[in-house]
Amino acid sequence: MLASWAPGRHEALTGLGEGDHVIVTGTLIPTDRIGADEPYHSMKHRKHGMNVQVIARPDGTPLWFSRATPGRTHDLTAARAHGIIQACLTRQVLVLAYRAYQGAGATFRTPYYHHREQPEH
């Protein structure tokens, strides 16, 4: 019932202007174990739960939440499945995200991590 009042993904991104940016992140909502628990176990968090993707303003105000997916779903996979990456690319919205979103697309910015095995340039 509440979902019908919430803005959709496209509506959440519509109000953004030139030069605006958003934060995209995934969060695990912990749950009790269920009988068919394998899809809901997050190896990253070592817990059972549901993965929810969030689009937020830079100050942390949420703009949009995805539907929950099983906890073992990788954040990049979930973002693609919910159309977040395509929506941000289409609207040319700059997105700040963490390492899990590397390779998401041209408008996604993720931290640079230097690998110990590679020499610095």
Query: pLDDT for 44-54, tens place per residue?
Result: 656 778 889 99
Mean residue pLDDT of the chain comes to 83
What is the rounded average pLDDT of the residues 3-32? 80
Does residue 65 belong to any structural domain of this protein?
yes
Task: Tell me: pLDDT of 41 over 80.
Answer: no
Residue 57 lies in a domain: yes
Whole-prediction pTM: 0.79
In a domain, residue 9? The reply is yes
- Flag whether 98 is in a domain: yes
Range of the structural domain that residue 97 is part of: 2-103
Q: Which pLDDT score, from 0 to 100, does residue 52 have?
A: 92
Q: Is the pLDDT of residue 43 over 70?
A: no
State the CB neighbour count (10 A cutoff) for residue 119.
6
Assess if residue 81 is contained within a domain: yes
Q: What pLDDT shows up at residue 1? A: 44
Q: How far apart are CA 121 and CA 116, in angstroms?
A: 13
Tally the domains of the chain: 1
Residue 121 lies in a domain: no
Non-local CB neighbours of 34 within 8 Å, separated by 6+ positions: 40, 48
How confident is the model at residue 66, as a pLDDT? Answer: 92
**Span 15-29, pLDDT tens digits:** 777 778 999 999 888
